[in-house]
Chains A and B, each alone.
Chain A
Amino acid sequence: METIPLETHDLTVAYGKKPVLYGVDVQVPKGKLIGIIGPNGAGKSTLIKAIMGVIPLTSGWVKIFDKPFKANAKRVGYVPQRETVDWDFPVSVMDVVLMGRYGRLGWFSRPGKKDREIARQSLDKVGMLPFADRQISNLSGGQQQRVFLARALAQQSDLYLMDEPFVGVDAATEAAIIAIMKELKEQGKTILVVHHDLPTAKKYFDMLLLLNMRVVAFGPTSEVFTNELLQKTYGGRLTILSEVADAIRTQ
């Protein structure tokens, strides 16, 4: 039997005494493009960080392909939010993409010829190869996001966790990212994407995880993208509710 890419059981996270995530139970199937949707402060980014052990769990467990995260870290690719890093940092585009190979290298070994070739291919895929030697601070928001995506591709993982990859990018980049995600899915990889735009969520994802501290619903987009469940996820937030209404009307 094929192992499950990601399984969490009773995953709970609290900052101090304030709980952020409660009893998250999910079994993520292979080869799907999955959106994590919910209001601000719903714990979307926290969920991704908790899966990777960046934030300690208060209770519960996480399994990646049937093993603890540490044992299978190599099979997980991560795309953090763009603003979490200092884009003035003295590294080139190539250096950043090569970081995606670090997890596969030994303690003291350097990226070799093969790693550079993989990094170049990844950059080519996102259309950033001509920028390989540029310093990263000269890039636009969309270009920065493409570099991060190239780095994730260079990780050659089976499960991808992406935190808000569409924030502040141009339409061309958004289309390019989606095309690559679909290609990865075709190769049998699983992609979890933290997303906040409802109209596109319906269009992009096979499955949705509706999150607001707890899992409100998790299932195929056609089944869970309903007025009732979205209202339950977003609670009484009026502006978003009207957005939901708009989104549903346009479908």
Chain B
Amino acid sequence: MNIFQNIPPFDFHEVFVMPWTEFGDVFIWIFVMGFLVTAACGMLGSFIVWRQMALVGDAISHSVLPGIVVAFLLTQSRGTLPMFFGALVAGILTTTLIEFIHTKSRVKTDAALGIVFTTLFAIGVVLISMYGENVDLDTDCVLYGEIEYVSQDLTVSLFGLFDVPVQVARMGAVAFCVMLLIVFFYKQLLVSSFDPGLARSIGINPAIVHHGLMLLLSITVVSAFEAVGAILVIAMLIFPATTASMLSDRMPIILGLTVVISAISSLLGVHLALWLDVSTAGAMSVVVSTLFGLAWMFSPNRGLLVLAMRR
């Protein structure tokens, strides 16, 4: 059996030109949504990864499931607002519980993280099985996201100029807030990530920075999961930041690079998905992980190739 038989023939015009000329109005929003999700996660990820908290995003994204199930059961609606708040409460609960278990027992952070998110995720799975008939929730959507349908969403008018799908507008607002907060609190984030002891001694409380970052992470992950799902959002948190860290040694440049990487992976991702007729979020994750591989190989400072040549 030829494993390549499922790959459709590549036609440049069909893959790269037609989507823009024929279905531009659908296509552009998938791309923009992908870019916003990856950029918001990427910028936050730059700090998360260097604070060695990469998997906290993983934990939050999993506990989103019980959050939205409970929100649905309480309100009996699939409205965006209850879903969003249900997920957000679950996200905040996750980080609080991890912290609580870690400080009030001898369980280390990584184990505490495993305890909390598997418990919450399990509760979500049990709830869905129990109320299965009544819960009109699409688990596929929760796990893999539905970025393809983003343009079918209701639209809002932005400054009276364009009609933007609601999801995209919301993700845009989140990405903008993430950028703004990082710019304003850059100093506090940098010093408390690098040297919490010094931060404390100059009156910047690392615990407050930590909680603020966790809240922002919860909001971002919850806004993003609708598009890329609870699992692939982790790729968006980790890959742009680690790829950028392979290429630069300076935090401001890393932050800028994550945005560039987000644009590239979103653009190539939507085209790849179109060519192979696969999930867009999945294709974007494949692109962003490939970019990491390339950066790891060919980084001018610490790429495997350069290291091998130096020896």
Write the residues of chain A forming the contact surface with B, with a CB cutoff of 8 angstroms.
49, 52-54, 70, 73-74, 76, 78, 80, 84-86, 89-92, 95-96, 99, 102-103, 105, 108, 110, 135, 137, 151, 155, 161
Contact = CB atoms under 8 A, between A and B. Distances in A.
Interface in B230-254: 245, 248-251, 254
B132 interface: no
14 contacts: A53-B200, A54-B200, A73-B203, A80-B198, A86-B194, A90-B254, A91-B194, A92-B249, A95-B251, A96-B194, A99-B191, A99-B198, A102-B204, A161-B201
B190 interface: yes
A116 to B, nearest CB: 14
Contacts, number: 69
A85 B195 contact: yes
A70 B205 CA distance: 11
Interface of B: 50, 184-187, 190-191, 193-195, 197-198, 200-204, 245, 248-251, 254
Contact of B194 (A73, A74, A99): A99
Contacts of A103: 201-203
Contacts of A89: 50, 193-194
Given A80-B195, A85-B195, A91 B200 contact: no
A91 B197 contact: no
A108 to B, nearest CB: 5
Q: Chain B interface mostly helix, strand, loop or mixed?
A: helix
A52 B245 CA distance: 33
A78 B194 contact: no
Nearest to B301: A135
A78 B249 contact: no
A90 B204 CA distance: 20
A137 B50 CA distance: 14
Contacts of B185: 108
A52 B50 contact: no
Contacts of A135: 249-250
A196 to B, nearest CB: 19
Contacts of A73: 201-203
A6 to B, nearest CB: 13
Among B184, B185, B201, the most chain A Cβ lie within 10 Å of the Cβ of: B201
A14 B285 CA distance: 48
A160 B197 CA distance: 14
Given A91-B251, A103-B202, A78 B245 contact: no
A91 B187 CA distance: 12
B203 A90 contact: no
Contacts of B193: 89
